[in-house]
Structure 1
Amino acid sequence: MRKCTKIIIGVITFLYLFMLSACEDFVDISTPNFQIVSENVFADDETAIAAVTGIYNQLVNADFSKGFQNSVTVLGGMSADIIEPIKTVHTKYGPFWQNEISIMDTPDALANLKLWSSAYNIIYLANSVLEGLANSSSITEPTRYHLQGQVLFLRAFTYFYLTNLYGDVPLLLTTDYKSNAHSSRNPTAQVWEQIATDLDKAILFLEEVVDYPSEKRTRVNQFTVMALRARVYLYQENWIKAEELSSQVISQTGTYEILNDLDQVFLANSHEAIWQISPVGRVGGRTTFEASIFIRYSIIPGVLVVGDVRLSKDFIEEMEVADKRQIHWVGEEVNKSGEIANYYSYKYKTYYAPEQDIPEYSMVLRFAEQYLIRAEARAMQNKLSEAITDVDKLRQRAGVVLLADTNPGIGKEALLYEIMKERKKELFAEWGHRWMDLKRTRKASEILSPIKPLWQNTDIWYPIPEEERVKNPNLTQNGGY
């Protein structure tokens, strides 16, 4: 056990130094001081597994994925109509909330750069490990396949967010520094094609990996890949395949379930979790970054108040009074007069935990989303009664009236509207779902222009960081910037 621990620590440290050597400029990168040497890092199964573990461990500290200030969760939520800054003039958050992001030398531009560059850091590590796995003759075939499947998923997962936030992005599939440094942006269609290819390969490579390697749900199995693949099919409007893949995940009732107690959903290794990121190894603590950004302690011991950002009052008013999601997943900050001053996301409840206690993990893919994917896919195929059943699965858990009881004859367009409302209420403050839903359904301008005075149609894409464009003149800019 001691030998295994040393190997894992050594390889993870090596990967970390390798990543740091390139700083945050993986699209425009010089040759790093620390190079992954296949014969050393991928000498056997044990070291190869440790290399992949290194990528997982980077996700908790990578800006785009860690759930903190510069994450998809916070910035994406801000860009839609869910999350807003406490002060609208906040120099970092205000421009995301107003959809007026700067391109250089401002706090919001730096946040955008960190989101972009941290995603490419993960992609570069994924490419490095994929090359190491392919070039090594010392790894057993089953281990090679299983690790390749996991890393292909991680690369596809990262590109999913890059292309949904920025549109056309450089599609980097190697560690060729000179080529990467001068890469132009690939059309979104090519990026989506690569995402689909990576996920389809991952499903095959993980064919025998249907269980989690331990009680933790922090590693990718075949159903993790299927869950994201179902979402990709939905975004690409392939309703038949979206229904098929989500159904395969939903059928795994021995592994996943919709938990009746909403306070249990975001706990570590929750049965509603398809994939989580452990906070172990995060910089600054052992609880989730989501808890750190959404809640904090007041000067009164034990009292939680809103953090740097809050939930919009319009969003809160859309929820029914009896909705358990408001009762359990929304916190209220009360002012000195006893009035509610702010609302905050309270899905993650642990702001501080002792070293031996890690009660919550960051939720990345959740079982409830699969019902919403299938509901929308079925509604699009005019399978309305079946879609209602899927939506009601979550409405029943939330304690609100069921569509089957109140409107069993609902039409297709009205049902799709209800499904979007359920997605908003169920998935708020999680990975920018609302922002991407508005864009993929072509509703962003319709919904956001009345509430955001500076809204323009070109605001659906974040700007390509100007610092990257200065280094690489082949990077074009999105319209409106």
Structure 2
Amino acid sequence: MKNIKHYIFSTTIVLLSAFMMTGCNLTEVDEVLDPNNPSVAGVLQDASKGELQNMVTGLEARHRNYVDNATELYGSFGREVWAFFESDPRFTIDWLGQEGITPYPNFFGSGGVYNTPYQTIKQANLLIGAAENTTSVTDAEKNAILGFAKTIKAFQYLIPLHGQYQNGIRFDVDEPLNPGPFLGYDEALTEILNLLDEANSDLNGASSTLPFSLTEGFGEYGFDSVAGLQQVNRAIKARASIYAEDWTGALDALDDSFMDLTAGEASMNVGVYHVYGNPPDAFNPLFYPLDANTNQIMVVHPSMIDDAEAGDQRVANKFYQRADPVSNANIPVDAEYQDARWASNTSPIPYLRNEELILIYAEALAQRNQGTDIADAEAAVNLIRDTWGLPPVALANTGEVIDQVLFERRYSLWAEGGHRWIDARRYDRLNEIDARYGTVFTQLERPTSETNWENNN
């Protein structure tokens, strides 16, 4: 399976070949189409299969652009990490709430969790519009494209919603100059869940074979098919359902997802990934060479080490103890550990794995609490613990299961998009986050551009 780099390179070669065959006229400049930013007029009217493929590839490329900002910003809020980036003191002062700082409009470094997801949503809308206005694919093939685009679109809405929380987000952004109203947290989640169901319905009516190719981010574990995309769609719905406290909905979604109640590291890592490569592709933005002499690095928050259980293999796998700790002018202690998850700067980054699905399963069972739910939830938690070399725990009721699930999620899902902050907030436990050298925020403020638009329209 090719990666994103290959498609961009191939498209460039095609464009260069066409240029050379038509000759060189220095008085005329032809428009060069970027597969990641296609001309609207060029693709909304009877797009070819090649153009649709370029747009799918572009959407998958954009889909990964939130990763570093969400991991570093939300991770700092939840004290999973410290962003020791000496290039600007606001990475620690503002992000950790030092010196009396509270969230403000256009909060420093938050564009990647607001603007960036909406750029991806815009790309998804363009792909949807192109698919709906072309004769180059059958209706069944069109459904496959729509199902893919809507699934990615739904996932992206969750990213700004985590930051804005009770401020809500705009859901209807199909017309940039005529956006819909802000929806509150619960209403936005409902729309996201409905969009996932709509995408799944499209995939139900899709062709047996995808009319486009996906990268190894989907293909590594067999999700580059209609059935595979439906499993991913249901997995995302399970995640969104626990945010909405729809426990039965989460369990129903898991039934049709790729959840596998099997112990072992291989089972835990089954999932979908963002892939990276050498130029012209992008590098893994979370990779930092071990023991590099740098003051530009994301480090492990010391509470992750302090609160860990002895023998937890997740600690050994994810946290590397540096030979020389890293210092930051605004933190009075040095950081001893850095991220150890990536073999190279082209390693893929997961955005949804089986390990998370198993923990969603345990949480939803405990909250539903019917029949054998508590016992089944306990078994799921212990499956995770057994995988990472920890002894089983006995859990007698909903409260005990939830306490344990939240603990396991801290280590199982460390630095995978800010789960710790999101989890603590939804269980009203922000006060349990280690707030040393700062404070813990509840949410960000609405960007000024959005406020200005509201005031003038």
Q: Same fold (TM over 0.5)?
A: yes
Query: Does 1:413 find its partner at 2:399?
Result: yes
Aligned-partner residue type, residue 460 of structure 1: T
Q: Say if 2:83 and 2:91, in contact at 8 Å, map to a contact too.
A: no
Please report how far the alpha carbon of residue 411 of structure 1 lies from its aligned counterpart in structure 2 after TM superposition. Answer: 2.7
Counterpart residue number, 1:436: 422
Which residue, out of 379, 384, 392, partners 2:374? 384
Please report how far the alpha carbon of residue 193 of structure 1 lies from its aligned counterpart in structure 2 after TM superposition. Answer: 2.1
Of 324-333 and 217-226, deviating more is 217-226
Aligned-partner residue type, residue 391 of structure 1: V
Aligned to 1:319, the other structure's residue is in SS state coil
Q: Say if 2:300 and 2:337, in contact at 8 Å, map to a contact too.
A: yes
Counterpart residue number, 2:50: 46
**Structure 1 residues 58 and 170, CA gap change in structure 2 (3 angstroms):** same
List aligned pairs for 1:139-178, cutoff 5 A: 139-167=137-165, 168-174=168-174, 176-178=175-177
Aligned to 1:291, the other structure's residue is in SS state coil
Counterpart residue number, 1:464: 446
Counterpart residue number, 1:217: 217
Counterpart residue number, 1:362: 349
CA distance in 1, matches of 2:420, 2:77: 9
**Structure 1 residues 197 and 330, CA gap change in structure 2 (3 angstroms):** same
Aligned to 1:144, the other structure's residue is in SS state helix
CA distance in 2, matches of 1:274, 1:148: 21
Aligned-partner residue type, residue 461 of structure 1: Q
Q: Say if 1:84 and 1:309, in contact at 8 Å, map to a contact too.
A: yes
Query: Does 1:315 find its partner at 2:304?
Result: yes
CA distance in 2, matches of 1:16, 1:437: 33
Aligned-partner residue type, residue 416 of structure 2: E
**Structure 1 residues 150 and 281, CA gap change in structure 2 (3 angstroms):** farther
Q: Say if 1:372 and 1:391, in contact at 8 Å, map to a contact too.
A: yes
Please report how far the alpha carbon of residue 412 of structure 1 lies from its aligned counterpart in structure 2 after TM superposition. Answer: 2.3
**Structure 1 residues 124 and 7, CA gap change in structure 2 (3 angstroms):** same
**Structure 1 residues 306 and 362, CA gap change in structure 2 (3 angstroms):** farther
Q: Say if 2:141 and 2:207, in contact at 8 Å, map to a contact too.
A: no
Counterpart residue number, 1:37: 42
Q: Say if 1:130 and 1:151, in contact at 8 Å, map to a contact too.
A: yes
Deviation by residue 1:341-387 (Cα, 9 ceiling, x = unmatched): 51122122324xxxxxx4x2111111100100000011112211100
Q: Say if 2:366 and 2:374, in contact at 8 Å, map to a contact too.
A: yes
Counterpart residue number, 2:236: 228
TM-score (normalizing by structure 2): 0.79
Which residue, out of 272, 276, 279, partners 1:279? 276
CA distance in 1, matches of 2:272, 2:295: 27
Deviation by residue 1:35-61 (Cα, 9 ceiling, x = unmatched): 343455x4333322321211112234x
List aligned pairs for 1:248-267, cutoff 5 A: 248-250=256-258, 259-260=264-265
Deviation by residue 1:169-210 (Cα, 9 ceiling, x = unmatched): 122341x23213xx5422223321221111001122223689
**Structure 1 residues 297 and 327, CA gap change in structure 2 (3 angstroms):** closer
Of 164-173 and 320-329, deviating more is 164-173
CA distance in 1, matches of 2:12, 2:141: 17
Counterpart residue number, 1:291: 287
Aligned-partner residue type, residue 197 of structure 2: D
Aligned to 1:179, the other structure's residue is in SS state coil
Please report how far the alpha carbon of residue 426 of structure 1 lies from its aligned counterpart in structure 2 after TM superposition. Answer: 0.6
Deviation by residue 1:419-438 (Cα, 9 ceiling, x = unmatched): 11001111011111111111
Q: Say if 1:45 and 1:140, in contact at 8 Å, map to a contact too.
A: no
TM-score (normalizing by structure 1): 0.75
Number of equivalent positions:
411
CA distance in 2, matches of 1:332, 1:246: 37
**Structure 1 residues 428 and 238, CA gap change in structure 2 (3 angstroms):** same
* TM-align CA RMSD: 3.5
Which residue, out of 177, 184, 202, partners 2:199? 202
Query: Does 1:324 find its partner at 2:313?
Result: yes
**Structure 1 residues 287 and 39, CA gap change in structure 2 (3 angstroms):** closer
Aligned-partner residue type, residue 469 of structure 1: T
**Structure 1 residues 436 and 210, CA gap change in structure 2 (3 angstroms):** farther
Aligned-partner residue type, residue 432 of structure 2: I
Query: Does 1:247 find its partner at 2:284?
Result: no
**Structure 1 residues 453 and 96, CA gap change in structure 2 (3 angstroms):** closer
Counterpart residue number, 1:345: 339
Which residue, out of 373, 377, 393, partners 2:383? 393
Aligned-partner residue type, residue 42 of structure 2: V
CA distance in 1, matches of 2:344, 2:143: 37
Q: Say if 1:149 and 1:205, in contact at 8 Å, map to a contact too.
A: yes
CA distance in 2, matches of 1:190, 1:222: 24
List aligned pairs for 1:95-114, cutoff 5 A: 95-98=94-97, 100=101, 103=104, 109-114=107-112
Q: Say if 2:238 and 2:253, in contact at 8 Å, map to a contact too.
A: yes
Q: Percent identity?
A: 16
List aligned pairs for 1:54-65, cutoff 5 A: 54-60=58-64, 62=65, 65=66
Please report how far the alpha carbon of residue 279 of structure 1 lies from its aligned counterpart in structure 2 after TM superposition. Answer: 1.0
